[in-house]
């Protein structure tokens, strides 16, 4: 957690640390210049933190109180950062072995864990937080604990892993969590011709996106028609050149395709198709840009299976169950924001990171024996190029495939 805090691009404002323990993270926050409110339900932890602050001369602008979730804690006004090393021991493991104070400090709780209790508190005290408030939580992700970053993702929060460590048989990860667009929602339309066209008018700073309940004239690659129905997801994100301008449109397309397919529990077929596990198309990604304008990323996803004009398509109802288009949009929005929203807190993704995301995305199908044929030549995909092309290996040579012309997927 100390490493994650030190790597933040900001160190200004009021930080709230929950469960301060002996004060290690509190000391790091104070040394970086934060105003800090630290709390713990254990009075001995409160005393230890105060003593350590005084020993290091860092007590100025730091308040340490005895409090916790469900134990008198309220989010103070103008909170900018919230930090918590979440308790993660299973209740069954610690039952009868710890006293009540130790149990509160080390043991998670059932039903979503302390993590969801914090989420409930933040929802209740939302007005106290700054719009750009960041939450840093340490989870045990292996083996799984009741507290999980996935509950935040399901609730529409962006969740990026910023630090991880394996200790013996346990994996600990720190996740940075925030509300996409600093809590400002999308431009929501009842009906439009194309969200890609609507997004042209919403350029500018911030996390900009358009969502339509019904889209009449959606389009795919090279102007092809994209059929959608009311209740499907039809949306476009407008990414500023500062955020995405250094990335090739091809790599942007393959990485977002992998991100969206993962959020849907689906697979991605290079370069931009979202597929069900039985190789039926569920959705697609389209990237457009012109000059110095924002880069537009369109996402279309079917809600349900359908057959029409020779098309046998799949829908998210097969992977996510009965979720509304608005709910699925929020899931996709948070997933894209996790990697591409510039919050001012975290570094933007590198080309290498997006190459890794893209390759892991298409590897799901490749692991089941999928290969490609270009003309009369059989090729084996082995990587993704920085332009988003498919690196492929033949019997006598390797090449980069950057166009669908003549390309056939073999499943």
**For position 201, what pLDDT does the model report?**
85
Pick the CATH number of 185-350 from 3.30.930.10, 3.20.20.480, 1.10.10.410, 3.20.20.70: 3.30.930.10
Three-state DSSP state, 142: strand
At residue 243, φ and ψ (nearest 5 deg) are -85, -45
Of 372, 242, 232, 360, the closest CA to residue 304 belongs to 232
Residues 6+ apart with CB under 8 A from 246: none
Which tokens go with 124? 């209740």
Distance CA 299, CA 235 (A): 5
Who has greater pLDDT, 293 or 15? 15
Check: CB of residue 241 under 8 Å from CB of residue 267: no
Average pLDDT over residues 362-376: 91
Q: What pTM did the predictor assign?
A: 0.92
| Domain ranges within the chain, ordered by starting residue | 2-178, 185-350, 365-410
Domain covering 2-178 in this structure, CATH number? 3.40.50.150
**Structural contact between residues 103 and 68, judged by C-beta atoms closer than 8 angstroms:** no
Residues 336-354 have pLDDT tens digits of 999 999 999 999 999 999 9
Q: Assess contact for 80 and 15: CB atoms under 8 A.
A: yes
Torsion-angle region of 21 (φ positive above 0: left; ψ -120 to 50: alpha; else: beta): left
Give counts: helices (H), strands (E), the chain: 12, 23
pLDDT tens digits, one per residue of 170-194 = 999 999 999 999 989 999 999 999 9
Q: What is the mean pLDDT of residues 152-180?
A: 95
Using alpha carbons, list the distances in angstroms from residue 189 to 91, 115, 236, 396: 46, 33, 12, 53
pLDDT band at 103 (very low <50, low <70, confident <90, very high): low
> Cα torsion at 250, 253, 257, 260 (round to 10°)?
160
Query: pLDDT exceeding 90 applies to what percent of the chain?
Result: 76
Residue ranges in 157-294 assigned as alpha helix (H): 195-198, 241-244, 249-264
Token reading at 130:
């700054």
Query: Which one is predicted more confidently, 164 or 241?
Result: 164
Identify the pLDDT of residue 70: 85
pLDDT band for position 372 (50/70/90)?
very high
Provide the strand spans (E) within 289-343. 295-301, 306-308, 311-313
Q: Which pairing describes strands 267-269 and 273-275: parallel, antiparallel, or unpaired?
A: antiparallel
Each residue of 309-330: pLDDT tens digit? 888 999 999 999 999 999 999 9
Topology of domain 365-410, CATH? SH3 type barrels. (2.30.30)
């Amino acid at each position: 957690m100390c490493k994650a805090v030190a790597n933040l691009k900001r160190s200004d404002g009021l930080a709230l640390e929950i469960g301060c323990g002996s004060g290690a993270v509190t000391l790091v926050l104070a040394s970086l210049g934060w105003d800090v409110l630290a709390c713990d339900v254990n009075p001995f932890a409160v005393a230890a933190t105060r003593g350590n602050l005084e020993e290091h001369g860092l007590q100025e602008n730091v308040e340490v109180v005895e409090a916790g979730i469900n134990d008198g804690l309220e989010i103070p006004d103008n909170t900018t950062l919230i930090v918590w090393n979440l308790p993660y021991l299973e209740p069954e493991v610690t039952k009868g072995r710890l006293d009540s104070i130790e149990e509160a400090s080390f043991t998670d709780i059932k039903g979503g864990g302390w993590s969801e209790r914090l989420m409930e508190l933040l929802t209740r005290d939302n007005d106290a937080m700054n719009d750009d408030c960041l939450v840093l939580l340490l989870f045990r992700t292996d083996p799984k604990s009741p507290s999980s970053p996935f509950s935040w993702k399901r609730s529409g929060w962006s969740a990026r892993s910023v630090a991880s460590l394996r200790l013996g048989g346990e994996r600990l990860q720190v996740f940075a969590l925030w509300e996409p667009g600093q809590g400002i929602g999308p431009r929501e339309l009842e009906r439009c011709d194309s969200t890609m066209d609507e997004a042209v008018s919403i350029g500018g700073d911030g996390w900009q996106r358009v969502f339509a309940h019904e889209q009449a004239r959606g389009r795919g690659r090279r102007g092809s028609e994209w059929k959608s129905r009311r209740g499907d997801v039809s949306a476009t994100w407008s990414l500023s050149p500062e955020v995405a301008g250094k990335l090739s449109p091809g790599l942007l397309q393959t990485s977002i395709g992998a991100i969206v397919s993962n959020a849907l529990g689906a697979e991605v077929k290079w370069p931009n198709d979202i597929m069900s596990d039985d190789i039926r198309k569920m959705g697609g990604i389209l990237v457009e840009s012109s000059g110095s304008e924002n880069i537009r990323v369109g996402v279309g996803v079917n809600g349900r299976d359908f057959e029409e004009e020779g098309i046998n398509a799949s829908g998210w109802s097969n992977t996510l169950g009965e979720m509304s288009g608005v709910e699925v949009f929020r899931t996709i929005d948070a997933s894209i924001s996790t990697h591409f929203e510039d919050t001012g807190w975290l570094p933007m993704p590198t080309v290498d990171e997006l190459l890794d995301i893209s390759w892991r995305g298409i590897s799901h199908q490749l692991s089941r024996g999928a290969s490609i044929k270009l003309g009369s030549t059989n090729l084996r995909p082995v990587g993704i190029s920085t332009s988003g092309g498919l690196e492929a290996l033949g019997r006598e040579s390797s090449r980069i495939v950057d166009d669908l012309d003549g390309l056939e997927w073999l499943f």
